[in-house]
Amino acid sequence: MLHVENLTAAIGDKQILKGLDLDVGAGEVHAIMGPNGSGKSTFAHTLAGRDGYDIGGIVTLDGADLLDMSPEARAAAGIFMGFQYPVEIPGVNNMYFLRTALNSVRRARGETEIGARDFLAVAKEAMQLVEMKQDFLDRAVNAGFSGGEKKRNEILQMAVMQPRLAVLDETDSGLDIDALRIIAGGVNALRGPERSMIVITHYQRLLDYIKPDFVHVLVDGRIVESGDHTLALHLEDHGYADFVNTDLNDAPERPLAGASS
């Protein structure tokens, strides 16, 4: 479904992604782990369409060239990015924002727009998923939200948008254990045979709750190792030291049950 080939991204002279390859099939959940500064968030933003990068390589979603599309066209094509730092938008009502977003992609797809009443039903269902109360919808988008509320709001948006591919950028950062459980519960409920996910995280902890089909290690702008969920456990025990500042061909042997490339 998602095909990434030799993806490069730079800001000015600073090369961040240095030839990233990744294939994500329908219904698969891929975790991308890596140390700070390895390019994880940049990868997420290149998928969502943020301005300001010099980008090379190939990224296609269901065969369509993603790199050519505006952020809104990517959303209409089915990409959803959960932000590490969701943006506060004072004055814009959360419910209004959600409905505008959903109707924007529906319009772009040639579907009929959804009315206020029908939308409320959609929103209510999504809210249950992330254990939110009604007043959440009446507040301004992320304005004055706690860290946990902001992340829940991201998952709420994902539940409303029903994307083909969700890219969750450090959705676990800054969460206490209860919030983590709620968010992981929401994400798991949204897993399905037609929906793929890329879960970007610094810590293995999230993957106790969201069990990935594949784990990739991103170091210095490249995926240097891929495996199943046991790779994450290995990283938890040993850190990223094995992969950092070493010639990868000389990387020590590790027991990686069921690892696939």
Asked whether position 140 contacts another protein by CB under 8 A, the answer is: yes
CA dihedral 29, 30, 35, 39 (to 10 degrees): -110
Asked whether position 9 contacts another protein by CB under 8 A, the answer is: no
Give the x/- contact pattern for another protein in 66-85, rule: CB under 8 A: ----xxx-xxx--xxx-x--
Asked whether position 89 contacts another protein by CB under 8 A, the answer is: yes
* 1 in Cβ contact with 26 (< 8 Å): yes
- In degrees and rounded to multiples of 5, residue 22 shows phi and psi of -160, 140
Asked whether position 139 contacts another protein by CB under 8 A, the answer is: no
Asked whether position 116 contacts another protein by CB under 8 A, the answer is: yes
Closest CA to 201 of 42, 68, 40: 40
- Residues with Cβ within 8 Å of 33's Cβ and at least 6 positions away in sequence, in order, are 40, 200, 201, 202, 204, 215, 216, 217, 218, 232, 235
| Of 140 and 189, CB closest to another protein | 140
Asked whether position 20 contacts another protein by CB under 8 A, the answer is: no
DSSP class of 212? -
Which of 20, 22, 59, 105 is in the footprint of another protein by CB under 8 A? 105
Task: Single out the segment in contact with another protein by CB under 8 A; choices: 7-15, 100-108, 216-224, 244-252.
Answer: 100-108
| Of 15 and 162, CB closest to another protein | 162
CA distance 130 to 151: 10
- In degrees and rounded to multiples of 5, residue 161 shows phi and psi of -80, -25
DSSP string across 137-163: HHSEETTT--HHHHHHHHHHHHHHH--
Residues 209-228 that bind another protein (CB under 8 A): none
Asked whether position 203 contacts another protein by CB under 8 A, the answer is: no
Least separation, in Å, of the C-beta of 71 and another protein?
4
CA dihedral 180, 191, 142, 177 (to 10 degrees): 0
Asked whether position 157 contacts another protein by CB under 8 A, the answer is: yes
Asked whether position 259 contacts another protein by CB under 8 A, the answer is: no
Q: Residues interacting with another protein, by CB under 8 A? A: 48-51, 70-72, 74-76, 79-81, 83, 86-87, 89-93, 96-97, 100-102, 104-105, 108, 116, 140, 157, 161
